[in-house]
Amino acid sequence: MRRAPSPLRSLVTLALAVTGVVLAGSTGCATFGGTPDTHEMDSARGAIYDARRAVFVNARRLERKGPPWKAIGQTLFGDAQTSPEGEVPIASPVEAWKSPPASGLRLTWMGHSTALVEIDGARVLTDPIWSERASPSTLVGPHRFHAPPAPLEALPPIDAVIISHDHYDHLDHETTVALAAQGVPFFVPLGVGSHLAKWGVPADQITELDWWGRAQVPGTRVTVVATPAQHFSGRGLLSRNQTLWASWVVRGPQHRVYFGGDTGLFDGFADIGRREGPFDASIIPVGAYNPAWREIHLDPEEAIEAHRMVRGGVLLPVHWGTFQLGTHDWREPAERTLVAARAAGVVAITPLPGAPIEPTTARADSTGPWWRLVDAVAALLGDGVLAGR
């Protein structure tokens, strides 16, 4: 069985990635986005803006760590199987989307942090990415383990897109432009609107919110609230923390959903739970963790802790299974989430990408550990057993 890519191949990939980023930058590629107006950012009251340095800062000062050599070494030379041998299976949600959810709440995980939240008659899409790569380059950078479960054109009419922050795996240039062309309103943290504006999204489709800022989704009875997260931002080498990062609350008259975005474990989860919870379901990141960047990404056990702090209801673990961004085995986030959830008495649902699920009425065992089969099937195919040779 093939394990991690060879060190030489990894080094070549890394060198190509760096070259690709530099080349893209030198040609003034639009993908990098815009620059926020520092005077407008200085109006932040929920989030903390350091006007002197023109950057947002986390509520708690993060430890300064040296360069993550160990993590880079793990990526290049470790023996973790960081991507699947076989194709990750997907389900098509298109038929199910034609009728409204019986319970009033349905979640469809489309891979990584993209989920369609159908809530009390409204459709809200989180961090949509349909691109092949989570990267400024179309040639290099983390690529997909699976195709998007449905083409963008097959989405039902979307009432709102919510964006957690401007990293490439959460704010995708091409997907944003395509959805904006359909007239979809975007709700983004402070400063992120500058990227959308640069990409030609009309100003009346962009709502920027500070932490604890709230807005009504037009034509629906749903409100979105930007809530704190512990992370960072930036799309280029010189734009670190110029725009805000956030998690989100989606509130309808009957249901509430929490979307964690990208975050480490911090006290803010308790505030979110107290002020906006409890939730029927929470969509929380469980992958791309490493001790070197512990403060800005959750590992599965911390994700369960965060889920309990926000009073999250049923847990849909995301930020795994689509792009290789971590140094761990690609299946490890799901396995550890199941174990930690069981120990904590939390119901975690792990649908296939594209399989719609109604969290408040789903049976706890309705989603199986499908990822265990992916590499086994690939190995059988490789041996010719399933290919009939």
Residues near Zn ion, by CB under 5 A: 167, 169, 262
The SS3 call for residue 189 is strand
What whole-number distance in Å separates Cα of residue 139 and Cα of residue 236? Answer: 17
CA contacts within 13 A on the Cβ side of 308: 12
**Whose Cβ is closer to Zn ion: residue 167's or residue 307's?**
167
Please, which residue, 288 or 310, has the CB nearer to Zn ion?
288
How are beta strands 206-209 and 281-285 bridged, if at all? Answer: unpaired
Q: Which positions ≥6 away from 21 have C-beta within 8 Å?
A: 136, 137, 140
Residue 172 CB, shortest distance to Zn ion, in Å, is 12
Token pair, residue 333, equals 């986030």
Start-to-end C-alpha separation, the chain: 18
The Cα–Cα gap between 349 and 264 comes to 21
- Is residue 309 classed as helix, strand or coil in its secondary structure? helix
Q: Which of 255, 297 has the CB closer to Zn ion?
A: 297
CB of 143 vs Zn ion, minimal distance in Å: 15
CB 326 within 8 A of CB 294: no
Which C-beta is closer to Zn ion: that of 234 or that of 359? 234
Least distance in Å: CB of 375 to Zn ion? 24
Number of H helices, E strands in the chain: 9, 14
**Beta carbon nearer to Zn ion, 167 or 328:** 167
Cβ at position 192, least distance to Zn ion in Å = 12
Closest separation in Å from C-beta 213 to Zn ion:
20
Nearest to 246 by CA among 165, 176, 322, 327: 165
Q: Cβ closer to Zn ion: 122 or 140? A: 140
Work out how close the CB of 132 gets to Zn ion at its nearest, in angstroms, rounded to a whole number: 17
Nearer to Zn ion, 123 or 167 (CB): 167
Closest approach, Cβ 199 to Zn ion, in A, equals 19
User: Residue 220 or residue 327: which is nearer to Zn ion going by CB?
Assistant: 327
Residues 183 and 212: their CA atoms lie apart, in Å, by 25
- Cα separation, 112 vs 122, whole angstroms: 22
Least separation in angstroms between CB 345 and Zn ion: 28
**Token code pair at residue 373:** 């089969």
Nearer to Zn ion, 106 or 173 (CB): 173
Give the nearest distance from C-beta 138 to Zn ion in angstroms.
Answer: 19
State the amino acid at position 302 in one-letter form: E
Integer Cα distance of 166 and 245 in angstroms? 8
Check: CB of residue 178 under 8 Å from CB of residue 205.
no
